[in-house]
Structures are given as C-alpha cells and as structure tokens.
Structure 1
Amino acid sequence: MNTYAQIYSCPDPETTSLKWGEIPKPWQENPYSPRPQGEEGTKFVRANILVAGTGRGVICAYRNSLGVYSIWWPVAVKIPARVDYNWIEVYGGFLCTQSLGDCQFSVAIEP
C-alpha cells in the first residue's frame, strides 16, 4: 500500500458545487451541522483539523444569510507545524480563520 501526501484547502463556495448546495467529493455532510445551502455570497469562515492522537479529519465552515454550516472530510491529515502561524492549536485540534488559500492542509492519499 503506497500513500503520498497532497496539499488541499477547503472547497471554495463560489467556484465548486457548494455554489448550488451540493457537497463536492470527497467531502461529506457534517451530521452535526445544518445542511449546506447554495447561496450567492456564501463565505468561507474557518477550517478545523480534528486531532485524536493523530489528525483524523478536516471540517470547513461557511456563512451565508441562513447561518453557518460545515462539511467534513474524514481523512488522515498532518498536524500543522508549530511555525505555521495560520493554524492555532485549540482543544481537540487546530483552527484556521484566515483565507481559503492560507488554510491549506496536508492529507495522506491512497491511490
């Protein structure tokens, strides 16, 4: 089994299927969040890396006129380096509230 790391960021709500409320693959609906609603003007709010000993997944949150919703990707994700000041260590993981481009993360991909 070969794996490799690849850099990703959260899906852009203005240029992906989130624009019309459809979650792009490999992302999934977050069962603890309101359902994604496609709406012009939806903005990226934050990204969270979930940690339980190792990186267990990424949650991306978005805001529109209906409130905040999030999607998640249960994937092996690298814990950010301490010198990566875009990511702040919080209880249960790491938080990035910068732009989509600043909130990049590295995941392990199995071809």
Structure 2
Amino acid sequence: MPTNFSIEFQPPSYLAEHFYISGTISVICNAFISYLLFFKGKKLDTFRYYLLAYQLFCAIGDIHLSVLMQPIGLFPITAGYSNGLLGKFLSVPVDIQMTLLSLLASMHVIC
C-alpha cells in the first residue's frame, strides 16, 4: 500500500517561540544554579568547581541549541537544517554547528 508523505520545508511558527521560551527558562535556571554553587555551596569544598564547570557546559549547550542553532527536523526523512543565528546571519554550515553540538555533548559526559 503506497502512502504519500508531505514534507514541510518551512519551520512551524510555534517552534521558534518554543526555542526562545525554553532557552530563556534554561538560562535562568542555569544562572540560579551557578549562583547557588558559587556563593552558597561552601560545604561542597572543591567539588563545587566540578559542578560549576558541568553547569557552565550545560548553559552553553542550552544557548547553542535554543538560540544559535535551532535544529529543524524534516520528518519522515532523516534530514534537517538550522534555523538559528549561526545559520541565518553568520552563514555557518550545518556540519560545523553539529560538530559544536557534539563537542558540547561530549563535555557533558566528560565533566
């Protein structure tokens, strides 16, 4: 039974709003947790610096995904493109953006 799929190449209007709202919430949460670790976590001794480094990489990854990259998937095929600031205004290729994303994800695992 053949089925017909239609692929939308324009990003949905709600998706950009979702990226900005979730990015704003995550930056606020990351800033608050960094404040708690840096100023209120005296009992953690030197371990708090490892947690602070992890939190910093999480914040950078959130900003990269929600503002700089904004990946748009083209379903049902395995493809996509970038709709963020790096792709639109700075013309950074998608493969470089994905390399940065994998670097940030590997820093999550390492830290």
Per residue, is there more helix in 1 or in 2? Answer: 2
Q: Same fold (TM over 0.5)?
A: no
TM range (shorter): under 0.3
Give the number of the structure with larger relative contact order, counting CA–CA contacts within 8 Å between residues 6 or more apart. Answer: 1
Larger radius of gyration: 2
Per residue, is there more strand in 1 or in 2? Answer: 1
